């Protein structure tokens, strides 16, 4: 069983996946900081300081000014503003990842397309015969 696990764990694809997960976790922290600390403040400024996280609908429990108050009182709410924040964050992260992957693809050296192999000699001879027959009157 240990040998089988060792064989499984040392496959190239498993190791590559592990490296991808670790790098992805580190990259997630960077992108989340970019969204939260760099992009969200100007968006909030442009929208006049609207805080989408306080957009909610109370189903049961009264009327509240903020989501925190409603949750503290135990009210049943639909928090569509928090959902909108998650969607905006996802769209920003997806766009940034698109830009990063696009730039990486431009930097990666792509191998030149393989040159087509010369046709075999028998095909070349048949082509010559065809051309000679076409040239006959």
Q: What is the pLDDT of residue 129?
A: 93
Q: Which residue has the tokens 């048949």?
A: 126
- Work out the average pLDDT over 63-69: 87
Q: Each residue of 73-88: pLDDT tens digit?
A: 988 899 988 898 888 8
Q: Cα angle at 37 between 33 and 78, to 5 degrees? A: 85
State pTM to two decimals: 0.55
Please give the structure tokens belonging to residue 93.
């992260």
> 71 falls in which pLDDT band (50, 70, 90)?
confident
SS (H, E, C) the chain: CHHHHHHHHCCHHHHHHHHHHHHHHHHHHHHHHHHHHHHHHHHHHHCCCCCHHHCCEEEECCCCCCHHHHHHHCCEEECHHHHHHHHHHHHHHHHHHHHHHHHHHHHCCCCCCCCCCCCCHHHHHHHHHHHHHHHCC
Output 110 or 2, whichever has higher pLDDT.
Answer: 2
Q: Mean pLDDT lowest for which of 31-40, 61-70, 110-119?
A: 31-40
Q: What is the pLDDT of residue 135?
A: 92
> 12 falls in which pLDDT band (50, 70, 90)?
low
Q: Cβ atoms within 10 A of the Cβ of 70, count?
A: 21
Q: What is the pLDDT of residue 131?
A: 93
Q: Each residue of 86-132: pLDDT tens digit?
A: 888 788 878 877 888 888 888 877 777 888 888 899 999 999 999 99
């Amino acid at each position: 069983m240990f040998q089988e696990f060792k064989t499984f764990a040392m496959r190239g694809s498993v190791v590559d996946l592990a490296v991808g997960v670790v790098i992805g976790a580190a990259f997630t922290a960077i992108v989340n900081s970019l969204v939260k600390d760099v992009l969200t403040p100007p968006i909030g400024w442009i929208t006049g300081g609207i805080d989408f996280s306080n957009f909610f609908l109370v189903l049961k429990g009264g009327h509240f000014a903020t989501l925190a108050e409603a949750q503290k009182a135990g009210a049943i709410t639909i928090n569509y503003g928090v959902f909108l924040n998650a969607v905006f964050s996802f769209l920003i992260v997806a766009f940034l990842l698109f830009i990063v992957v696009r730039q990486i693809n431009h930097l990666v050296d792509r191998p030149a397309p393989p040159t087509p192999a010369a046709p075999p000699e028998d095909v070349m001879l048949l082509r010559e015969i065809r051309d000679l027959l076409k040239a006959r009157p």
